[in-house]
Every structure is written in structure tokens, then in C-alpha cells.
Amino acid sequence: MLNGKKIIVILPAYNAAKTLEQTWKEIPFEYVDDLILVDDASRDNTVEEAHRLGIRTIVHTANRGYGGNQKTCYREALALGADIVVMLHPDYQYTPRLIPAIASMIAWGEFDVVLASRILGVGALKGGMPLYKYVFNRVLTLAENLLLGQKLSEYHTGYRAFSRQVLEKLPLEKNSDDFVFDNQMLAQVTWNGFRIGEVSCPTRYFTDASSINFRRSVIYGLGVLATSLQYRLSKLGIIHFDIFSDK
């Protein structure tokens, strides 16, 4: 716990058997009250590895997509009484050692949502982010900041934390089951006036780290732009989109 707040870390997993133990070993369990892994019908032995490590595990018998995986993660974390939920990818691309720093910004009431940014500080390129992904990240972030009225360094990190109040408020079930779920969630956070903070986070790109290919990146980018435009049109009262409605 931090400041009396129960902290639960969620691991949305797909084919993470090779990196799960590395990730698990670096989690600071003196601050983390519980750990939940949701396996999205992996084709490797992710579930067996999770059981070996003693991780609370939920298994999707059919693949529900990255967003669908997160929906299960958040439901289960709230059911276990989480005050703060930290999403960490189990592919060892982000260091779990930052969990206390991320969670503390919510635990002491400074922010409602905290993102671990790969762009702040040492930078994503030094961590091996492909140049085209870096360029996409910067272009999309600029467009999103303009359309959402934010000043974030990036929207596309897979390492983020939410207060219970945020997760109870957002209509997450209305979001996509694909990768754009992450972006829709931040648009909803902005729509509801929640405070977003950022911390600098190093990143690692290597063979076993998960990453979407160029084609999926383009599809994701188009979905991000569509979400941002939907937000702006809804704000202007021109067209209202369902993801910005109450539950």
C-alpha cells in the first residue's frame, strides 16, 4: 500500500512466457498488494509460467484482443478492492521498478491518471524504438494534444495507472477490443476532466518484446486520429459519440 491505498498491478498477457519471469522479478511487492495476469488465449506456455510463479491468473479461452484483455483486467482489479490499478505489460519492455513512483502520484491525490512516458528523459530511440514508430508517436501525439486540448509527451505507452474513481466512471465496455482501446480511454479521461500526470520511463525493444507490425501500426494510427476527432466533434456539440456517454 501507499498512503493506505490498495495497489493492484494488472498484466494483460499474450505469448509472454519468455519475459514474464523477468518482469515478475522486478515488481516491488513491498508496495504491491496483488497481481493479476489475464491471458488472452496465448499460444505459448504463458499460463503455465504464471502458475509456476504463483500469479493470480485468468484465462480467456478465445482471443478477445488487447482492449478486451484490459476490460477483464480492470473488472477483476476493482472486484478485488483496488484503489489504484497499475497496468504493466509483461513483455519486460518497461521496468516494474517505477510502480511506486507512478502509484504514489495517485495515492497522495496529485493526479487521477499517471502515464510512464518513453519520450520524456532519456528517450525512446535510445531504448531501441524503431524510427518509424517514433515518428508516428510524435505526429499522433501532436494531433491528439491539439484536438484534446492536452499537453502530454505521449499517449501510446502501455505502462499507466488509474485511480478507482476513474475506472468506475469511464464506460470502458463501449471501447474497442483492439489496440485503440488505450487511446479511447485517455480521451474519456480527458472528457471527464480527470488529471493526467507523467513520469519518465526508459524502454527496451528486443526480440521477445511485444510490438505490432507496420500495417497494424497504421490501422492503430487511423483509429487514434478518429478517436481524437470524435472527441472534438462531441465537445463542439456537432455529433456526440457513445464512448463519451456515461455508463
- Binned at pLDDT 50, 70 and 90, residue 122 comes out as low
Distances (CA, A) of 117 to 59, 199, 203, 208: 29, 6, 9, 21
What is the per-residue pLDDT for 203? Answer: 81
Contacts of 29 (CB under 8 A, 6+ apart): none
What is the per-residue pLDDT for 209? Answer: 56
CA distance 167 to 104: 17
Of 86, 96, 101, nearest to 26 by C-alpha is 96
- Binned at pLDDT 50, 70 and 90, residue 132 comes out as confident
Q: Return the sign of the alpha-carbon dihedral for residues 37, 42, 44, 47.
A: positive
Does residue 166 surpass a pLDDT of 90? yes
What is the per-residue pLDDT for 210? Answer: 58
What is the per-residue pLDDT for 194? Answer: 98
Tens digits of residue pLDDT in 8-21: 999 999 999 999 99
Contacts of 134 (CB under 8 A, 6+ apart): 124, 125
Domains of the chain, earliest start first: 7-244 (3.90.550.10)
What is the per-residue pLDDT for 211? Answer: 61
Does residue 238 surpass a pLDDT of 80? yes
CA distance 38 to 60: 7
What is the per-residue pLDDT for 206? Answer: 57
| pTM, full prediction | 0.93
Cβ proximity of 146 and 182 under 8 Å: no
